Amino acid sequence: MNIEIEFKDIKKIYGEKVVMEHFSLQVRKGEFVTIIGSSGCGKTTALKMVNGLIRPDAGDILIHGENIRDKDQTRLRRGIGYAIQGSVLFPHMTVEQNISYVPSLLNGRDRARTKAAVSKWMKIVGLDEELKERYPAELSGGQQQRVGIARALAASPEILLMDEPFGAVDEITRGQLQEELLRIYRETGITVLFVTHDIGEALKLGTKVLVLDQGEIQQYAPPAELLSRPATPFVEQLVERERRTCHLPEERLGDCEFSGAAGR
């Protein structure tokens, strides 16, 4: 099994509050993990531990089997794409400058390579080339979100962390961004950790869904399994409505036993 990210017996305390304890998880290479749970259950904390923005109080995070504690933190972060809700673009930089920020650090003087990366990613996320010279304030919310995703992907990271990246856009744009993200995921084979509040989104995008409650793993399983065999009452409640309306794309349904599950 090719493990890309591993949380090993993690403990995290804020002040007196234990947010996570004995938290262990393995994420295989190429997996798209959606993370969902009650507010304040530790989703963002878990995500930010992967790129070293938050340090655990105990336990280790391994990437490709290497402890991130031993890595140069700047280099670690440059190798991991990170996209969060709302606009976190540099306001004084154009779209092009925003997207090329990390690639230009990595490519050094090879400007042609950076320019090519910017054009490629603008196209992939569905941004018109003519927006290159605009500043973030001159873009719609959906366009800003696309620039954020292009920026997160432009350095061709092997890991992409996304924290409710589509939370602030309208329903239609959200659907488009989800489709584009799935396409990028399929084309690149990147490993994705994606935090969401929306169980529909978690089931639609994830190859695996991680359900957390108060820092504890309730279930870590493919969407079809969550629907057919919820592991705890918490998961059962979370998926109940989805089970009735099941929005899963057909290829994800697999051997989903709805009639059996309904008998619970």
Residues 6+ apart with CB under 8 A from 246: 227, 253, 256, 258
> Nearest approach, Cβ of 248 to ligand ATP (angstroms)?
23
Binding residues for ligand ATP, rule: CB under 6 A, are 14-15, 19, 37, 39-45
- Min separation Cβ 204 and ligand ATP, Å: 19
- The residue among 206, 187, 183, 192 whose CA lies nearest residue 159 is 192
- To ligand ATP, the closest distance from the beta carbon of 2 in angstroms equals 27
Report in angstroms how near the CB of residue 131 gets to ligand ATP at its nearest. Answer: 30
- C-alpha span between 84 and 39 (Å, rounded): 16
CB of 255 vs ligand ATP, minimal distance in Å: 31
CA–CA separation, 103 and 178 (whole Å): 24
Q: Between 12 and 208, whose beta carbon lies closer to ligand ATP?
A: 12
DSSP sequence for 128-190: -GGGTT--GGGS-HHHHHHHHHHHHHTT--SEEEEESTTTTS-HHHHHHHHHHHHHHHHHH--
Q: Residue 54 or 93: which CB sits closer to ligand ATP?
A: 54
**Given the complex with ligand ATP, which of 190 and 210 has the nearer CB atom?**
210
Q: Which is nearer to ligand ATP, 45 or 100 (CB)?
A: 45
Record the tokens describing residue 28, joined without a space.
């295989």
Compute the distance between CA of residue 47 and CA of residue 45 in angstroms, rounded to an integer: 5
Which of 14/90 has CB closer to ligand ATP? 14
